[in-house]
Amino acid sequence: MLMYFFVRRVSAGALLAMLAVPACALDVLTLELDRAKIVELPAGTNTLVIGNPGVADATILRRQNRIVLTARGFGETNMIALDTNGIALAEILVRVKSPPPSLIVQRGLERETWSCTERCEPAVNPGDSSRHTGEAVKQIGQHSGFARPATSGGGK
């Protein structure tokens, strides 16, 4: 059974497990913000540790040795797969970048992100100004409200 933990403090046992990772180059997995990717785990993985769950989060696929890794915020973190004895089987460096195509407009300290396919539309990304984010979230909420089915006010 695969277990999933977020670690905030490093215990002595976890530190030893991290030191057991070979000193070779880490595998690097690049994700785009707010997108998910299926990742195959090493055989025998019992515990998965993600260094910073604010950068990436994992959902375990039951009865499979795979996870769905979702990019939550910009930056880098690591992911360590441990066996039942706490021995590190693999360590992967996870990098999160902006999804293409996007346009970033910087006006002094104010930043706006735009998603550009056929035409540019406002997008919400960490680091954007509160004015830009607030307006985009308001418009998204209004749009979502139109898509909800009307509830019937009918009798019992």
CATH number listed for the domain at residues 3-97? 2.60.40.1550
Tokens standing for residue 25:
């180059």
DSSP letter (8 states) at residue 88:
E
> DSSP 3-state assignment of 104?
strand
DSSP letter (8 states) at residue 82:
E
State pLDDT tens for residues 82-101: 999 999 999 999 999 988 77
Q: How far is CA 44 from CA 2, 26, 62, 69, in A?
A: 9, 19, 14, 19
State pLDDT tens for residues 116-149: 888 888 888 888 999 988 888 888 888 787 767 6
Better-predicted residue by pLDDT, 144 or 8: 144
DSSP letter (8 states) at residue 73:
S
DSSP letter (8 states) at residue 33:
T
Q: How far is CA 87 from CA 62, 67, 82, 90, in A?
A: 22, 19, 5, 9
Domain range list for the chain: 3-97, 102-147
Residue 23: its pLDDT value, please?
46
pTM: 0.63
User: What are the backbone dihedrals phi and psi of residue 12, each rounded to the nearest 5 degrees, phi first?
Assistant: -60, -40
